Structure 1
Amino acid sequence: MWSRSQLSVRGRIDRWRGKSWVVLQCAVAASVAWWIAADLIGHETPFFAPIAAVVSLGTSYGQRLRRVVEVTLGVAIGVFVADILVAGIGSGGWQIGLIVLLSMSTALLLDAGQLFVTQAAVQSIVVAALMPDAGGAFLRWTDALIGGAVALVAAMIVPAAPLRRPREQAAAVARKIAALLRAASDVMIDGEVAPALELLADARATDRMIRELQSAAEEGMSVVSSSPFRVRHREGLRQMVELVDPLDRALRSTRVLVRQTSIAAYRHRPVPSSYALVAADLAAAAEAVADELAADRLASAARDTVLAVGAATGRVERSEILTAEAILAQLRAIVADLLMVTGMGQLEATDALPPPR
């Protein structure tokens, strides 16, 4: 229990560290938006300026520019509509309902996104509940635009971390494939059921790694699309993003291999020792791929290592046991997937494998 609690605390701290730049950015943007609206322009209580800035930036880098535009316009429309209506009909239960109806309808008629529509409704409620003074509509509307403008500038200033995350996560996936292959090789040799079942549970828990890789790739592309200071990284990041699909395939193939290996151990089906050696060599090849990715290079330098393992799959003996044959087939599938990670096309990778003996 204590160990699990420690892991939970450590995970939360790591999460905070990963978002610390965004949190700091939101804090600075809120402060700057207030300062511009209050001190430079002279608005008395420009609370919509920091609200628009913080909501626009959010806590992720994904689609920031679109979010800034949607939130800014949504806040501006909600504030403007609510200010005008409250000045005419006052504030109360039915008035708030009418204001939300008109604000959301206006946003929808403008063909806005969900965030735009939601912000229009939320900010109109805030204005209606606060019962603004007559004539304050323009001030609050400009406050929202100020906050959005500050967020727009802040969105262009991003650290290098989101650009590193795709390759770091890609390397982590490749290393996980290597670890699963090494463990599968041990199970093929020992045939022990308990380690096989533990390995199977470990393999089944890897879905999150691909989701994290996809998220990192999307976030990285959003950064280079939104920040003019990171445009030079676009091509390299695009090449890294293209590895998401083959890495996903390789990890899925590895999970199938682990399942077949576990079945062989559970049913006491012998697996040729040469298959275990191929799995171990393939683990080393996957580790070489991971090293290249971690060094921010394409994995083409590891291609010969993967090809050597592929050649070995054509020389090993065949088995009359169906489970063992399935293991060999999956080893060959993983080789093809890793060749795609090194930059080969799908047909080229498949053709690079020699026919089984």
Structure 2
Amino acid sequence: MSPQPARSGAPGSRPTGSPTATGPLPAVPMLDRARETVRGWFFQGISRGRSDALTVGRAAIAAALAYLVSGFIWNHEHPFFSSIVAFIIIGFGIEKKMRKIVEMSCGVMLGVLLGELARAVIGSGTWQILVVVFGAGMLARFIDSSNLFGFQVAIQSLLVMIMPITPGMTPGGRALDAVTGVVVAIIIHLLLSGDPRRLQSRAASSFYRELEDTLVSLALSARSGDRGVAQAALKNIRAVSQKYTDEWSLANDVANEMATFSPSGLRHADDVNRLQHLLVGSDRAMRNMRVIARREVEFLEAVRGDAHSRLADALLAARDAVLELSRAVSHEDVDFTEARRKLRLFCSYLSPEMLLRNDEGMRPGRAGHFEGVTLTIQLRSLAIDLLQATGLSAAEAKQFLPSLVVAADGDAIGPRPMTMEMRALEPPATTEALELLITDRSDPDRRR
């Protein structure tokens, strides 16, 4: 009997739109990919615009105000240098503005002075521009290695050479406009910087969101036994984890600068320091996540894709703790008590006898046992990192972890009544750890 052709949608049938040996690839998937690309670009653009709206607004205010001040005080007809300098100093995004202001100010002033001197001595024209721009660029590289400084020296000297002198402007008028732009930009930046903790909270939220997504993916991989999901999570966190760490570190620097120099940020100095300290343990946790993802891939490969729901539960408990950390930093009063409670639940899973049995209750073989114990130790290290992020010391954090001291009796492995020798190896009793749950000791200056 000849086989019947498979119906559309039946198992083994080729889906509509799939490539065939005789026909070209259909256009529909390509259109879908293009639509998704455009949608992703659109929403990323909206996100960037929302994040930088205040900064661009400050830059626009500084540019307009600098132009107005130069025209009003110095009676310059077209003081465009004031606006240019003020806008460039504030710029886009977040960065360490005070250092940028110093580099910008020095570069602008040197460039304007070089341009004015060259214009007075050799005039303005094609070959003069070549000589002045080359000389300004080489002098800037000799003085300082900063690209920003060199760019400003060269570009300002170029602008002086090519821009016409307006009526009533003296040779030093542009230098005066540049100084005005610098001063206005400094004032606007310091007065309109806003709450420095907002930058840190936003960076921390993105950082923790990446941790949460990775933990969820690893939990899904453990529950299904599909190591491909863990491999995808590993590839992603390797690609983006350092970016989130660098963004938080930069936000800390900017917030610390604002809390030092800005009148509106001085009262938040203590909270800025606390959120700054939080990155130390969190960065270690992010680095640990890369290792955990790799260890889980190797563990699932060693156990041949067995499902491990208990391991998935542990990873989801870690996700819940990270979520609480993210909520804590978004509040005005930072309190890590609830995050420590979640971390205590996560810690309760972290022993090999809890994590290594599959859903049928079977222990892994020799290779699986080795990889599983390595994964368990790495998860314990993650728990300590997150607990230290809440302000605990390493010794305090270790009190949350269950014992690794077990006794073996044939094939039965698990906790047994301890001998005096085993008790000597045990961590301290958990009463102090329980007390840490109800006492917020995240303040670096807390009393012991």
* Structure 2 equivalent of residue 27 of structure 1: 60
- Where do residues 224-243 of structure 1 align in structure 2 (5 Å cutoff)? 224-243=259-278
In structure 2, distance between residues paired with 1:331 and 1:68: 44
* Structure 1 equivalent of residue 347 of structure 2: 310
* Structure 2 equivalent of residue 185 of structure 1: 219
In structure 2, distance between residues paired with 1:349 and 1:69: 43
Q: Which of these residues, 260, 280, 295, is aligned with residue 331 of structure 2?
A: 295
Alignment partner of 1:292: what SS? helix
* Structure 2 equivalent of residue 130 of structure 1: 163
In structure 1, distance between residues paired with 2:270 and 2:225: 46
- Identify the structure with bigger relative contact order (alpha carbons < 8 Å, sequence gap 6+): 1
* Structure 1 equivalent of residue 285 of structure 2: 250
Which is worse superposed, 336-345 or 188-197? Answer: 188-197
1:337 counterpart = 2:374: no
* Structure 2 equivalent of residue 216 of structure 1: 251
* Structure 1 residues 298 and 103, CA gap change in structure 2 (3 angstroms): farther
- Where do residues 22-61 of structure 1 align in structure 2 (5 Å cutoff)? 22-61=55-94
Residue 273 of structure 1: how far off its partner (Å)? 5.1
Residue 73 of structure 1: how far off its partner (Å)? 3.2
Aligned AA for 1:282?
A
Aligned AA for 1:353?
L
- Where do residues 1-357 of structure 1 align in structure 2 (5 Å cutoff)? 1-100=34-133, 103=136, 113-130=146-163, 132=165, 136-160=170-194, 163-207=197-241, 208-267=243-302, 268=304, 270=306, 274-296=310-332, 297-314=334-351, 316-317=353-354, 320=366, 321-350=369-398, 352-356=400-404, 357=406
CA contact (8 A) 1:269 1:323 kept: no
In structure 2, distance between residues paired with 1:90 and 1:40: 29
Which is worse superposed, 74-83 or 337-346? Answer: 74-83
* Structure 1 residues 131 and 177, CA gap change in structure 2 (3 angstroms): closer
Q: Deviations over 1:249-301 (max 9, x none)?
A: 11222232222222333441657654343333333223322222232414244
CA contact (8 A) 2:70 2:177 kept: yes
Q: Share of identical aligned residues, percent?
A: 25
CA contact (8 A) 1:82 1:124 kept: yes
RMSD: 3.0
Unpaired runs of 5+ residues, structure 1, are none
Which is worse superposed, 305-314 or 46-55? Answer: 305-314
CA contact (8 A) 1:264 1:270 kept: no
In structure 2, distance between residues paired with 1:129 and 1:102: 16
Which structure shows the bigger proportion of residues in helix conformation? 1
Which is worse superposed, 198-207 or 7-16? Answer: 198-207
* Structure 1 residues 87 and 4, CA gap change in structure 2 (3 angstroms): same
* Structure 1 residues 120 and 164, CA gap change in structure 2 (3 angstroms): same
Unpaired runs of 5+ residues, structure 2, are 1-33, 357-363, 407-448
In structure 1, distance between residues paired with 2:151 and 2:235: 41
* Structure 1 residues 178 and 117, CA gap change in structure 2 (3 angstroms): closer
CA contact (8 A) 1:272 1:324 kept: no
Residue 81 of structure 1: how far off its partner (Å)? 2.5
Which is worse superposed, 3-12 or 189-198? Answer: 189-198
Residue 4 of structure 1: how far off its partner (Å)? 2.4
Q: Number of aligned residue pairs: give it.
A: 357
* Structure 1 residues 272 and 102, CA gap change in structure 2 (3 angstroms): closer
